[in-house]
Amino acid sequence: MSPTTETTVGIGGAAESTDMVLNIGPQHPSTHGVLRLRLVLDGERIMHAEPVIGYMHRGAEKLFEARDYRQIIMLANRHDWLSAFSNELGVVLAVERMLGMEVPERAVWMRTLLAELNRVLNHLMFLGSYPLELGGITPVFYAFREREELQNVMEEISGGRMHYMFNRVGGLKEDLPAGWTSRAREVIADVRSRMDVFDDLVLGNEIFRGRTRDVGVLTPQTVHAYGVSGPIARASGVDFDLRRDEPYLAYGELQDTLRVVTREEGDCLARFECLLGQAHNSLDLADACLDRLAELPPGPVNQRLPKVLKAPEGHTYAWTENPLGINGYYLVSKGEKTPYRLKLRSASYNNIQALVELLPGTLVADMVAILGSLFFVVGDIDK
C-alpha cells in the first residue's frame, strides 16, 4: 500500500497571528455625519486605529474669502450644526476686534444668554444619544422633549431652529420679542426640574456604568498633545475653561455663578458626567443673564454699520468656549470687504484625533462607547 499524505485545510492557528483590517463607516450623512475608522484587529482587540476624515468637506474657509463680513456668518454657523449660535459668535467677535468696535451692553448680555441656551441644546443631544449608542433608547426621548422646549424660545427670537443667523457684526439682529424673557424663564425652570432624569435614569443605571467606567481612559498628557478641549479635556483633570480663564462677553461678571465641572478619571463615564454637570450650570448662567437683562434699561442691541463694511488691514485671533470645546478664529484682512483669510480651529477636529491613542488595546465591543463619549459633530471636523 502506498503511503498517504494528509493535508488539513482551514484557518486554524494561523488566524491568531493574522491581523484583520476592519472599516467602521463611512456612514450616511443622516447618521450625524460621515466618519470612517480604519481599525487593525488582533482577534477582538484593536491594535491600531486611524480616523479617516474629509467625507463632508465643504470648503467653508475658502468660501469665506468670496463673501463679505455679513455673509460669512451664514457659512460659519453650519459646521457644528448643534452649536450654530456659538459658531456665529466667534466670527463676529473676531471682526469686531479688527474694527475696534464696542457692542452695546444689552447685546453683550443677550449674546451670553443665548450662547448658554445653545450650550444646553448641544449637550442635551449627546446626553440622549450617547445612552442610545450603548443600547438604552429611553433617554433620547427625554432629551428631545427638553430640546423642543428650548428650541421653541430660540426659534421665537430668530425664526430658525438650527441656524439662527441672529448675530450681527456690532451686536444682534434685533431686540428680544415682548414677553420673551418671562417665557424663557419658564422653559429654563421646566428643563431644570426634569434634568434629574439623566442623573437617575442614566448615571444610576448599572449597565451604563459598567459599559463606561474605566473604559477609554484619556490621560492629561494625551489631552495636551492633541489639543483636546472642552468637557472631554476637563473629564481628564485639565481644568481650563475660557469663560473663566480668559472671560469674554459677560462671563467676567458671572464668575460667582460659573462652575467649571471637572473629573480626574478621564474615562467615558467621567466625560458624560462633565457634560451633564455643564448643562446644569448653563441653565444657572442663563437665569443669571435674565436677571441682569431685567435690570438694564431699554437700549440698542447693535451698532449702525456702513453700507459696505471693510475691516482694516491686519490680523487678529479670537477664541471662544464652544459647547464641544475651544473654537478659534484667525482673521487676516487686506482692507477689503471680504476676509483675505479666515482660519477655523474647531473643537471636534482635535478631539477626534485622540482616538489614535484611545482605541489601541481596547476591545471592539468598547469602540462605540469610546467613540460616542468624544461628543463630536463630523461637520465640525471637516468644515
Instruction: Give tens-digit pLDDT for 311-355.
Output: 999 999 999 999 999 999 999 999 999 999 999 999 999 999 999
- Minimum mean pLDDT among 24-33, 35-44, 368-377: which range? 24-33
What percent of the chain lies above the pLDDT cut of 90? 70
Instruction: Give tens-digit pLDDT for 120-147.
Output: 999 999 999 999 988 889 999 999 999 9
Beta pairing partners, 59: none
Structural domains of the chain ordered from first start: 20-52 (no CATH), 60-381 (1.10.645.10)
Stated pTM of the model? 0.90
Instruction: Give tens-digit pLDDT for 53-73.
Output: 888 787 888 999 999 998 999
What percent of the chain lies above the pLDDT cut of 70? 93
Nearest to 164 by CA among 128, 194, 122: 122
